[in-house]
Amino acid sequence: MKKILVVDDDPTLRTILTRFLSKNGYIVKVASSGIEALTVFAQDPPDLVVSDVMMPKMNGLEFCRHLRASRSGQLVPFIFLSAKGELEDRIKGHSMGADDYLAKPFEPRELIAKIESQLERSRRIHLEMIRLMQKIDPTSTTAEDSEDILTKEINSSSGVTAAELPLTPAEARVFWEVIQGFTNKQISERLFISPRTVQTHISNILNKLQLENRSQLVRFAYEHGYKPPEDGTG
């Protein structure tokens, strides 16, 4: 059974989500703030995080930033819950590495759909990790070396590491989609973000890498060894 960490300072909403997610076959852990959530995450890492934005002590944005900065939290799917009209928070959340958003009030079935979609994407990433492990020769590589190779190749769900490129986790995801040849609309649908957000990330990527267009970006990726998996999945 998959584990979901629900982070929200509203006890009523936590109870409702816990009951609903449990009925749908998930194990649910809860926290009332970002600080508490970091502790819960460290003790028992979940398969996915659902977090409110506005919370005391540490809000959801800071929680997401801390999580993405940690090794164990770089790849875990992250869904924000936000009140209507919090456009600026949604933009900030995506830039910090959030995978999806759901505006309050929301239909619980839509949350389930988003959770299942993100877990499926996580499953594909895990399969790619296994494929990469199988490519490593155990007779000539230590366990530590193998882990370093994997970290470099699949960090941030994209094959792009922050150490190698000056990209945020969200920009790295878009980078990976662009070099596979997906259009802005397709990237928007695959990553569950708006086409405008996709274009903003692409503009930031081009500026940071001192490139002029998508064609140069694709050429840059291949020249530096950033190639999509053989099966074409992201």
Report the pLDDT value the prediction gives residue 185, as an integer from 0 to 100. Answer: 85
Contact 92, 61 (CB under 8 A): yes
Interacting residues of 148 by C-beta distance below 8 A, sequence separation 6+: none
Contact 49, 81 (CB under 8 A): no
Q: Which domains does the chain have, with CATH numbers?
A: 3-120 (3.40.50.2300), 137-223 (1.10.10.10)
Q: Mean of the pLDDT values across residues 191-217?
A: 87
* Main-chain phi, psi angles of 49, to 5 degrees: -120, 135
Q: How far apart are CA 226 and CA 133, in angstroms?
A: 17
| Residue 9 pLDDT greater than 60, yes or no | yes
Which of 18-22, 91-95, 98-102 reaches the highest mean pLDDT?
Answer: 18-22
Residue 52 belongs to what H/E stretch?
strand 48-52
Contact 46, 5 (CB under 8 A): yes
| Residue 146 pLDDT greater than 80, yes or no | no
Tokens, residue 59: 């809000």
Report the pLDDT value the prediction gives residue 160, as an integer from 0 to 100. Answer: 41
